[in-house]
Chain A
């Protein structure tokens, strides 16, 4: 039966030898390898739930009077986009479940990519031959963040409108061309024409997801070509890969992970409320709310916008660089620029141009680990600065004071993290470089005279 199926397929595709190899494709066993899979499976859930939502959502800014089942909004003038999103939450059975699962999946998707990126960075998995794939992965992270932003901006509720207002300001802040860029994307002055909603919609449901899916396929192809990386261990060399073959154990395990990820996302979607747009209300440019927070993956940008001192670059009366540029564009450009450049920088510093299939433990390369930790600490500090207003409301710490604290912290914390991490790594490395140190064993040595002595303990 199986042989006949294999023959049937082979006679129509010539793929039997490839299939045989694929069935025995080896996956090294390490739990840190699962983050990438979690991202992949969140994306699958995003596509499935997103298609469903698109069957109900109307991407239109035409105004109508709301008469759905959410009574507090009755009689309000709202856009069709907003009304259809509220309707699909209240009047479509299972609609709210799927909308919330979609939102949660987006949060988990970006989070899994970031943790996956940290794994890749700290273990040196981005080195040749995988540097190209590292760039592909980083690009997907950028796209995922923009895709998420486009997604929650579609709903035309108060928070999404506030987010778009900031996005428009950031677009306007691009030196020289910003004004034109803003009116190009929005079809006019903010909040833009009806066409902007159509553009946002097609970007969110087609352009970005299809690009991400294509890059994902490339990402997987570039993983399998040189095979997976692996940590050092018994029988593991640069030239081989040791682990569980795809068929059947790994396939079951990975498929099991898919179902677990989907289960968690739907549990969150069903049980934990997220983005209740009916509470925010519809957006108008003259409306705003205190305590507005974006989805987590944009928290670092709102932090940067808040931390930046009031400073425009004005040359001879011409505003070259308006303030939102620093936090909204320069900061993320610097972070991603650093990440994109890092493989080349490390190659130049270390002079190591060899192929690497064995992973470093973070301690094996203290400088890289310390720099990476400092970078992530820097971004995390700015991320937390974005929540200073909430800390003020919840804890009563004065906002201005917090801000000055953060302005010091963005310089101090990365330096401290760098020094501490580097020292910890070096100690750990020294600890296990010598068989007699760091373990409970004693080193017994014999001197030329024939006597024994015990060193270390």
Chain B
């Protein structure tokens, strides 16, 4: 009896359902299951793993710096650091952030559109799109409680692993140390021409200019090359401590400009002294100009330091260094002293 009574009701229900689906079916709510784990123990574990990863990263740096870079230890340390980050992320994915199961309609590539696919999708306004993005981004961390702890641990991991990742770049070159101050010149080093022949004092006339090298040095060594010039000894205005650096008016300077390391290859020697500025060495790159008479003092251009001067002496007619250059050769760097 009840069955007979219920039958129309059931039909009515089915019709209503069909109508409902017809009307609202297009915007059918897609399946979405969401569960917020909110497990503060898991959050703590993730934070510990991340912090440990940071420490393992630092261990890599220490092994690199202290242990001569033992390959096995380095490999173990970096693998541990990366593995701990991996473990932290996988654990966070499984236990910390919302567990979500989402359904998405696929775009259809078939020629004839399927049911419910005819209409153009409504385009959200700019404003809605921004809200939607922000919402989606925020929902990713719903239910996470110890956010500051996790951020801090993430920072530690980032610093440690980042430092480990960058450390091997230190293998690229030697430590700067005293490298930029090295010089082949010392008391007694002979000056030779490019072809290896000795530089003789008698061969140089007043106003002449010659490129010379420290005997035995690699010509590509930045500190090995000097320019030798000869001026009238009466004109010299050298500082008192350099009074004996220029025998017979012969002076030698580093050939490398103290501004940007081009070769100082121009020598300006006045033919009519009363109308022209004094003798000077000029760099052709940025026209830094150095006063020969005053021991290489900068008089024009962007160079800041003087051109290092090489003290000279003449033995048996040949030019020799009487000591090292007066300053560091080449461009300035942090810690170079003024010369």
Listed in ascending order, the chain A residues whose CB lies under 8 Å from chain B are 2-3, 5-7, 10, 14, 16-17, 19-20, 23-26, 52, 55-56, 92-98, 100-101, 129, 225-227, 235, 238-245, 247-253, 255-260, 262-264, 266-271, 355, 357
Query: How distant is A332 from chain B, measured CB to nearest CB, in Å?
Result: 33
Knowing that A225-B107, A242-B103 are A-B contacts, what are 9 other residue pairs whose CB atoms are under 8 Å apart, sorted by A's residue number? Answer: A10-B129, A23-B136, A95-B168, A226-B109, A251-B140, A252-B90, A253-B90, A256-B89, A263-B81
Listed in ascending order, the chain B residues whose CB lies under 8 Å from chain A are 30-31, 64, 68-69, 71-76, 78-83, 85-90, 92-94, 97-110, 114, 123-124, 126, 129-141, 167-172
Bound together, the chains give a CA A52 to CA B166 distance in angstroms of: 11
Query: How distant is B93 from chain A, measured CB to nearest CB, in Å?
Result: 4
CB pair A355–B141 under 8 Å, yes or no, is no
CB pair A2–B134 under 8 Å, yes or no, is yes
Query: How distant is A254 from chain B, measured CB to nearest CB, in Å?
Result: 8
* Contacting residue for A93 out of B94, B131, B139, B171, CB 8 A: B171
* Contacting residue for B104 out of A19, A241, A259, CB 8 A: A241
CB pair A16–B130 under 8 Å, yes or no, is yes
CB pair A97–B86 under 8 Å, yes or no, is no
Bound together, the chains give a CA A262 to CA B75 distance in angstroms of: 11
Query: How distant is A251 from chain B, measured CB to nearest CB, in Å?
Result: 8
19 contacts between A and B (CB under 8 A): A19-B133, A20-B129, A20-B135, A23-B137, A26-B102, A226-B109, A227-B106, A244-B101, A252-B92, A252-B97, A256-B87, A262-B86, A263-B82, A263-B86, A267-B75, A268-B75, A270-B73, A271-B79, A355-B110
Q: Which residues of B contact A235 (CB under 8 A)?
A: 31, 103
Most B C-beta atoms less than 10 A away, residue of A20, A23, A238: A20
* A247-B89 contact, Cβ under 8 Å, with A26-B103, A93-B64, A266-B82: no
CB pair A266–B101 under 8 Å, yes or no, is no
* Contacting residue for A10 out of B110, B123, B133, B167, CB 8 A: B133
Q: Which residues of A contact B86 (CB under 8 A)?
A: 256-260, 262-263
* A266-B107 contact, Cβ under 8 Å, with A3-B131, A16-B132: no
- Identify whether the interface residues of A are mostly helix, strand, loop, or mixed: helix
* Contacting residue for A247 out of B64, B71, B110, B136, CB 8 A: B136
Bound together, the chains give a CA A355 to CA B109 distance in angstroms of: 8
* Contacting residue for B89 out of A100, A253, A266, A268, CB 8 A: A253
CB pair A263–B102 under 8 Å, yes or no, is no
Nearest-CB residue, chain A, relative to B100: A245
* A6-B130 contact, Cβ under 8 Å, with A249-B97, A255-B89, A256-B90: yes
CB pair B168–A98 under 8 Å, yes or no, is yes
* Contacting residue for B102 out of A56, A245, A259, A260, CB 8 A: A245
Bound together, the chains give a CA A6 to CA B133 distance in angstroms of: 7
Q: Which residues of B contact A23 (CB under 8 A)?
A: 133, 136-137, 140
Bound together, the chains give a CA A97 to CA B79 distance in angstroms of: 11
* A94-B133 contact, Cβ under 8 Å, with A17-B123, A252-B93, A256-B86: no
Q: Which residues of B contact A225 (CB under 8 A)?
A: 107
Bound together, the chains give a CA A9 to CA B81 distance in angstroms of: 33
CB pair A26–B90 under 8 Å, yes or no, is no
CB pair B72–A257 under 8 Å, yes or no, is no
* A3-B130 contact, Cβ under 8 Å, with A248-B141, A259-B86: yes
* Contacting residue for B171 out of A92, A242, A248, CB 8 A: A92
CB pair B137–A94 under 8 Å, yes or no, is no
* A7-B172 contact, Cβ under 8 Å, with A248-B141, A264-B79, A270-B76: no
Query: How distant is A8 from chain B, measured CB to nearest CB, in Å?
Result: 9
* Contacting residue for B85 out of A250, A253, A259, A267, CB 8 A: A259
Bound together, the chains give a CA A19 to CA B138 distance in angstroms of: 13
CB pair B76–A2 under 8 Å, yes or no, is no
Nearest-CB residue, chain A, relative to B115: A239
Q: Which residues of B contact A25 (CB under 8 A)?
A: 104
Bound together, the chains give a CA A256 to CA B167 distance in angstroms of: 22
Most A C-beta atoms less than 10 A away, residue of B89, B98, B109, B114: B89
Query: How distant is B45 from chain A, measured CB to nearest CB, in Å?
Result: 14
CB pair B134–A3 under 8 Å, yes or no, is yes
CB pair B90–A267 under 8 Å, yes or no, is no
CB pair B78–A266 under 8 Å, yes or no, is yes
CB pair A249–B129 under 8 Å, yes or no, is no
Q: Which residues of B contact A355 (CB under 8 A)?
A: 108-110
Most A C-beta atoms less than 10 A away, residue of B31, B80, B100, B106: B106
CB pair B89–A259 under 8 Å, yes or no, is yes
Query: How distant is A271 from chain B, measured CB to nearest CB, in Å?
Result: 5
Bound together, the chains give a CA A271 to CA B72 distance in angstroms of: 5
Q: Which residues of A contact B94 (CB under 8 A)?
A: 249, 253
CB pair A17–B124 under 8 Å, yes or no, is yes
* Contacting residue for B106 out of A16, A20, A357, CB 8 A: A357
* Contacting residue for B133 out of A20, A97, A243, A269, CB 8 A: A20
CB pair A250–B104 under 8 Å, yes or no, is no
Query: How distant is A96 from chain B, measured CB to nearest CB, in Å?
Result: 5
CB pair B71–A242 under 8 Å, yes or no, is no
Q: Which residues of B contact A268 (CB under 8 A)?
A: 75
Query: How distant is A230 from chain B, measured CB to nearest CB, in Å?
Result: 10
CB pair A266–B130 under 8 Å, yes or no, is no
CB pair B168–A93 under 8 Å, yes or no, is yes
* Contacting residue for B71 out of A26, A96, A226, A249, CB 8 A: A96
CB pair A55–B103 under 8 Å, yes or no, is no
- Give the 10 A-B residue pairs with the shortest CB-CB distance, closest first: A270-B75, A248-B140, A256-B89, A259-B86, A93-B69, A267-B79, A263-B83, A260-B86, A263-B82, A252-B93
Query: How distant is A45 from chain B, measured CB to nearest CB, in Å?
Result: 10
Query: How distant is B117 from chain A, measured CB to nearest CB, in Å?
Result: 9
Query: How distant is A238 from chain B, measured CB to nearest CB, in Å?
Result: 8
CB pair B138–A2 under 8 Å, yes or no, is yes
Bound together, the chains give a CA A247 to CA B167 distance in angstroms of: 32
Bound together, the chains give a CA A49 to CA B153 distance in angstroms of: 27
CB pair A259–B82 under 8 Å, yes or no, is yes
Q: Which residues of B contact A251 (CB under 8 A)?
A: 140
CB pair B71–A129 under 8 Å, yes or no, is no
CB pair A260–B83 under 8 Å, yes or no, is yes
Q: Which residues of A contact B137 (CB under 8 A)?
A: 2, 6, 23, 247
CB pair B109–A129 under 8 Å, yes or no, is yes
CB pair B31–A94 under 8 Å, yes or no, is no
Query: How distant is A97 from chain B, measured CB to nearest CB, in Å?
Result: 5
Q: Which residues of B contact A357 (CB under 8 A)?
A: 106
Q: Which residues of A contact B82 (CB under 8 A)?
A: 259-260, 262-263, 266
CB pair B136–A10 under 8 Å, yes or no, is no
Query: How distant is A300 from chain B, measured CB to nearest CB, in Å?
Result: 30
Q: Which residues of A contact B107 (CB under 8 A)?
A: 225-227
Nearest-CB residue, chain A, relative to B105: A240
Bound together, the chains give a CA A227 to CA B105 distance in angstroms of: 9
CB pair A17–B90 under 8 Å, yes or no, is no
CB pair B97–A248 under 8 Å, yes or no, is yes
* A6-B134 contact, Cβ under 8 Å, with A20-B129, A257-B86: yes
Bound together, the chains give a CA A243 to CA B104 distance in angstroms of: 9
Q: Which residues of A contact B79 (CB under 8 A)?
A: 263-264, 266-267, 270-271
Bound together, the chains give a CA A38 to CA B98 distance in angstroms of: 25
